[in-house]
Amino acid sequence: MAEPVSEILSPSRLPRLTWSNVSRLIRLSNQTGTWLLLLPTLWALVFAARGIPPWHLIVIFSLGSFLMRSAGVVLNDLADRSYDRHVARTQRRPLASGELTARHALILLAILLTLAALLVFLLNVRTLLLSPIALLLAALYPFAKRILHVPQAMLGIAFGWGTIMAWTASRDTVEAPAWFIFGATICWAIGYDTIYALQDQEDDRRIGVKSSALFFGRSTWLAVGIALAVMLMLLGMAGWITQIGWIFYGVLAATGLYCAKQVVELRNPVQSARAFHMFHEHVWLGSAILVGSIAGFLL
């Protein structure tokens, strides 16, 4: 039986900007993305400082990572809301389900970017001048999956730009190790986000969205393996230039072994839940690299 018009138009049923909707929109309960953005930035801060970075930079970039990741998912959901309605994993997101409107999302986006801008003004001029590029990259990523067969590369560039900003905030210049860490971040994102994309292969194929998991197909395991191997190699080069201690290389070797374990597992089909778990494991791998880099400089 159809609902009365008065019930459909009831104020209680209209989209409203509530804490529940906002927290779901910015994925407050799942901060994996924030960690994956923050960790390479912390790598860069540690390498730039040759040890423990200044605490004010740790705080600024930690808060900035949370704000920019939150802004990024709002931008992503705005761009993808028509697609998300047709994907089982995303159809209940607030914008896709109609719980929030585009106007609500834009208001929230403005607040997040304003707060992020205030943080950037606490840094030096060179870093301030680099910050608009971070915003441009965050805005471009949601559209990359319409054009690029490996949109994960654009995600890596967007996440990696934080390493360049961290380096300039610490040393007021950009040196070779910063670019190696930047490149490593791109490769890392291609690796872990290809694993993440395995969850949506069938839906992505049906609605015409591009992803590296679809592009590489049966060779996904090989592509992920190459991406992660190059990541470790680039981090090793950054360590060599900065004359880091042997502990760091030991951690890289252990990380490489765990990545190899994932690659072997990817040679066979993996279920969506397992793909998500494997993706989440990269937070721990990135954290291990961070601890290893600190130990490499201090011990």
Count of positions (residues) in the chain = 299
Residue 45 CA to residue 42 CA, distance in Å, equals: 5
What is the pLDDT of the chain when averaged over all its residues? 91
Pick from 286, 285, 288, 261: nearest CA to 274: 261
User: Would you say residue 228 has pLDDT above 50?
Assistant: yes
Rg (CA), the chain: 20
What are φ and ψ of residue 91, in 5° steps? -70, -15
- The proportion of the chain whose per-residue pLDDT surpasses 70, expressed as a percent, equals 95
Task: Give the pLDDT mean for 43-59.
Answer: 97
Q: Per-residue pLDDT tens for 152-204?
A: 999 999 999 999 999 999 999 999 999 999 999 999 999 999 999 998 888 77
Q: Which residues contact 262 (CB under 8 A, 6 or more apart)?
A: 195, 224, 228, 278, 281
Residue 151 CA to residue 211 CA, distance in Å, equals: 6
User: Would you say residue 3 has pLDDT above 50?
Assistant: no
Task: Give the pLDDT mean for 89-96.
Answer: 82
Band of pLDDT at residue 50, cut at 50, 70 and 90: very high
Residue 185 CA to residue 58 CA, distance in Å, equals: 18
- pLDDT value of residue 14: 61
Task: Give the pLDDT mean for 203-232.
Answer: 90
- pLDDT value of residue 82: 77
Helix %, strand %, coil % of the chain (to 5): 80, 0, 20
- pLDDT value of residue 13: 54
* Residue in the structure block whose two tokens are 């104020």: 11
- 3-class DSSP assignment, residue 246: helix
Q: Per-residue pLDDT tens for 256-293?
A: 999 999 999 999 999 999 999 999 999 999 999 999 99
Contact yes or no for 163/44 (Cβ under 8 A): yes
Task: Give the pLDDT mean for 66-80.
Answer: 91
Q: From residue 21, how far is each of 28, 29, 96 by CA, in Å?
A: 10, 12, 12
- The proportion of the chain whose per-residue pLDDT surpasses 90, expressed as a percent, equals 73
Task: Give the pLDDT mean for 240-244.
Answer: 97
Task: Give the pLDDT mean for 126-149.
Answer: 91
* Residue in the structure block whose two tokens are 């279920």: 271
Contact yes or no for 182/234 (Cβ under 8 A): no
- pLDDT value of residue 34: 96
Domains of the chain: 17-298 (1.10.357.140)
